[in-house]
Chains A and B, each alone.
Chain A
Amino acid sequence: MIGLLAITPQPNDGIVVITGMSLVFLILVVLALIIMAQGKIFDYITAKKEKAHSAKASESAARAQAVSTAASSEPEAPAVEAGIPQEVVAAIAAALACISGGKYQLRAVRKARRDGWSQSSLLDETQPF
């Protein structure tokens, strides 16, 4: 249509006005529709991402809840052998909780009875640290 108008020497004024306004509206309406569709797509993607994010967040929150529940459901103190300080018990319990994520619980703490070879091996393994 535009091409046809271009070769017409002096188009009718009414046609110029009607065609002009119609084309301006048409192009901008098409642009608006595309932007709307694009907006919907982006909103959908954002919503999906947020949903996945919130699901992950709620999962980790549930896990944390479970840990605290488990901890609170087992209030029994570990059996500690005489002579072991409370600080050592607390450090062992914290290390265990940290590694197992609350899955295991410290039940008892007692001194290891190692012979000379075992003691030597343990020192070899741990001394560098």
Chain B
Amino acid sequence: MSAFIDTLGSIWSNSGYATLFDFANGGYLYLIMIIVGCGLLYLAIVKEFEPLLLLPIAFGMILANLPDSGIIHMEYFINTPTGHPMWSEILDNGGLADMLYCGVKLGIYPPLIFLGIGTMTDFGPLISNPISLLLGAAAQLGIFATYLGARLLGFTGPEASGIGIIGGADGPTAIYVASMLAPHLLGSIAVAAYSYMALVPVIQPPIMKLLTTKKERQIVMTQLRVVSKTEKIIFPIMCTILVSLLLPDAAVLVGMLMLGNLMKESGVVDRIKNTAGNELMNIITIFLGLSVGCTTSANTFLNRQTVFIIVLGLIAFSFGTAGGVLLGKVLCFVTKGKVNPLIGSAGVSAVPMAARVSQKVGQQENPTNFLLMHAMGPNVAGVIGSAVAAGILINIFG
């Protein structure tokens, strides 16, 4: 009998439950992380907050915080003696999550996600109204304003850059920059970025209404110019060459986005376009979400920095929206009322959610007004703008 009890005791002491309920040695931290993971799963499943990425991130968070599961070895990637990932250790002792995380660490997944996004993006509204690019640029104010805020709160330059990029409202870009400049904050930054992207319809409308008059919100914009197929084919090639020559660090993000778009617009590679936009993107989304979720441990997530990141993320989105709307007001004034400032808020990326918000707020004031296609221009310009901003920050701090 005593042998049986001893065996049971041994199994218990070796189980994760023993560590989890060992509150004296910080077992409660695992419990809190599991509860946070379940909370995020609730948001993803019930509230449908960016579920495609939030669901695997949240589940990865739970997996990584099951005591003694050893699913990921972040000590091989971060704060290593040489400052570089310990590749031989990863290959010798690493498991599934370690291997998947290599794709994040090496900056492989975000560009591949961009490839898929490119196959689904129509740059037609932007080409027909190039002024949209200015709105996309103005909305990047959120990135740099948040950078300043993060610096004031004591974050280092690279950390502040990783946090600021949340303002780009572009998940893959945020993950890319964070994995390059602040890998220890990756989990918090990714969770904040995707949570706020899902909250765009809640965050943006009050700011848009606050900064515009009723008369401005009622402006009906004129029909867009018809863009030829040739123009749509030239655009991704020209954009890649121009941006990459000026800012080589943005080449991989912009290049992949434009490659996907060229596949779509050329119309000659339907098979690989469909693969890039569907199967490949879905596979990468699973890998990216799961491995980012696995990076969140109690030590790196349950601290004051995460609270700051959550607050700064909100500031980033708010400033980005305000920047776009304010430049929209300037353009409205310059063009003598031909531009509805509401389309400026779509410059924060978050395609196509932010454009839909512009449409919705505009239609509240004038039910016959259709701003969606006009807002899609700044929206896709925001994707380019945030990739450019990411390239600048990596160039400065990388």
**A residues lining the B interface (CB < 8 Å):** 2, 5-6, 8, 10-11, 13, 16-17, 19-21, 23-25, 27-36, 38-39, 42-43, 46
Contact = CB atoms under 8 A, between A and B. Distances in A.
B157 A16 contact: yes
Contacts of B30: none
Given A5-B396, A6-B398, A34-B242, A27 B388 contact: yes
A28 B134 contact: yes
Contact of A38 (B151, B231, B243): B231
B392 A23 contact: yes
B137 A24 contact: yes
A104 B341 CA distance: 67
Q: Is the interface of B mostly helix, strand, loop or mixed?
A: helix
Interface stretch (B44-52, B233-241, B265-273): B233-241
A42 B170 CA distance: 32
Contacts of B376: none
B79 interface: no
Interface string B222-247: 00010010110011001100110011
A33 B133 CA distance: 10
Contact of A10 (B141, B157, B235, B247): B157
B148 A36 contact: no
The contact size tier of chain B is: 35 or more
A16 B243 CA distance: 19
B110 interface: no
Contact of B395 (A6, A32, A34): A6
B246 A27 contact: yes
A28 B141 contact: no
B130 A35 contact: yes
Nearest to B136: A28
Given A5-B396, A20-B396, 17 more contacts: A2-B395, A11-B157, A13-B157, A17-B144, A17-B147, A20-B393, A25-B138, A27-B246, A28-B136, A28-B384, A31-B239, A33-B130, A35-B126, A35-B127, A38-B231, A39-B128, A39-B225
A36 B129 CA distance: 8
Contacts of A5: 395-396
A32 to B, nearest CB: 4
A30 B247 CA distance: 13
A34 B230 contact: no
15 contacts: A5-B395, A17-B145, A20-B140, A20-B144, A24-B389, A25-B137, A29-B134, A30-B242, A32-B131, A35-B127, A35-B235, A38-B238, A39-B225, A39-B231, A42-B230
A16 B133 contact: no
A11 B151 contact: no
Nearest to A9: B157
B385 interface: yes
B396 A25 contact: no
B381 interface: yes
Interface string B139-175: 0110111011001000001000000000000000000
